Structure formats: structure tokens, C-alpha cells
Amino acid sequence: MRRLSVFNNVSLDGYFADSDGDMSFVHKSRESPDWVEFTDQNASMGGVLLFGRVTYDLMYSFWPTQRAKEMFPLVAERLNNGPKIVFSRTMESASWNNTRLVKGELAAEVRKMKQVPGPDLVILGSGNIVAQLVEAGLIDEYRIALVPVVLGKGRTMFEGMREKLPLKLVGSRVFENGAVYLQYEPLASGR
């Protein structure tokens, strides 16, 4: 069975995007060789990327640009050429290379995807779909990069959740730039 992971960069006050939906605070943090290596390694892990429409639009507006390719060549190559799925009931088509549009009911579609052979599934950003898939008990792993910045306001990736989500820490790493990587799995007694 395929695994479904969430990978998000989060500010110290818990936001994956600022109040305008911008996630660029991640790239404005002090870079360090270990952070750059981690970012490149993460991008090379493969898997099918899952997005909600808002995150898809944001990612599509940056990653295919020449600027993105110059700033983050390995990450841009992976995001532009790797398989992607965008969940939207309002979009008519998805123009980004190697992207499939899915309009069906989110949890049912993801449940079907997890049952068929193939690469693992990874959600980037997309707080609305994260919260819905948490509620459906479909997320196997949470990979959080805690970035040393305070935004003051913004969006959490768990907006709209109605129940607590108990997690256990299964990995961590501290970077020279002050970022901290945290890897969690749901507790067996949780969902």
C-alpha cells in the first residue's frame, strides 16, 4: 500500500503560509550547506505530489520560471517534471507539466490512490486538503521543517480540524540556519 506524507515548512508560530497565502518566507531564511543539501535530497525522494488548487496555483506561478530554475535547480527540476495531482472542483484543466486534475471527492480519491501500486504520495502546502485527509485518517506521516521566523498571522495546515491528532516523534534534525526538521507518525491509539 502506498504511503501518504505531508511535507511543509512552518513558521515558529505554526503557519505554513502568511495571511496572503505566500510561502516565500521559507526561502528568505538563512541558507546553510546542510539545509541546501537537505532540501535537494528531499526533492529527489520521488513520489507523486498532491496539491489543493490554491497551493497548485502558487507553486505553478513560481517553479516553472527561470528564476526558480536558477535559485533552486534540483528542486525546480523535480517539481516541474515529477508527477503531480491537483484536487479542485473549480479548475477546468491543469497546465503544469505532468499534472493530473482530480475533481472527485477528496478522501475517496486518495483512498483509491493509496490502494494501487505506485510511488508514495506527498502533500505540499495545501492546508485545506491536509485537514480533510487527517479527519479521514489517511495521512501516514508528517514531515515538518520548522523555520526560524515568526509571521504573526497566516494559515495553519490543520485549519478546520474538529478532533485532536496525537502524534509520535520518529525523527528530527537541527540545521545550521536554525531550522529544525521534525518527523511524526500518528499514534496507533489515535485514528
Give the C-alpha distances (Å, rounded to integers) separating 40 from 13, 21, 29, 50, 99: 25, 24, 16, 19, 21
Range with the poorest average pLDDT among 63-67, 78-82, 186-190:
186-190
Tell whether 65 is covered by a domain: yes
Instruction: Determine the pLDDT at residue 190.
Output: 44
Tell whether 174 is covered by a domain: yes
Domain residues for 81?
A: 47-151+159-180
| CATH number assigned to the domain comprising residue 72 | 3.40.430.10
Question: Mean pLDDT, to the nearest integer, of 116-143?
Answer: 92
Range with the poorest average pLDDT among 16-20, 31-35, 147-151:
31-35
pTM of the model: 0.87
- Provide long-range contacts, Cβ within 8 A and 24+ apart, for 88-96: 88/52, 88/53, 88/56, 90/53, 91/53, 94/56, 95/60, 96/56, 96/59, 96/60, 96/64
Query: Residue 43 — pLDDT band, cuts 50, 70, 90?
Result: low
Torsion over CA: 32, 9, 121, 169 (sign) = positive
Tell whether 52 is covered by a domain: yes
Query: Residue 160 — pLDDT band, cuts 50, 70, 90?
Result: confident
Question: Mean pLDDT, to the nearest integer, of 50-72?
Answer: 91
How many domains, in total, are found in the chain?
Answer: 1
Q: What pLDDT, in 10s, does the model give residues 68-107?
A: 999 888 889 989 999 999 999 999 999 999 999 999 899 9
Tell whether 167 is covered by a domain: yes
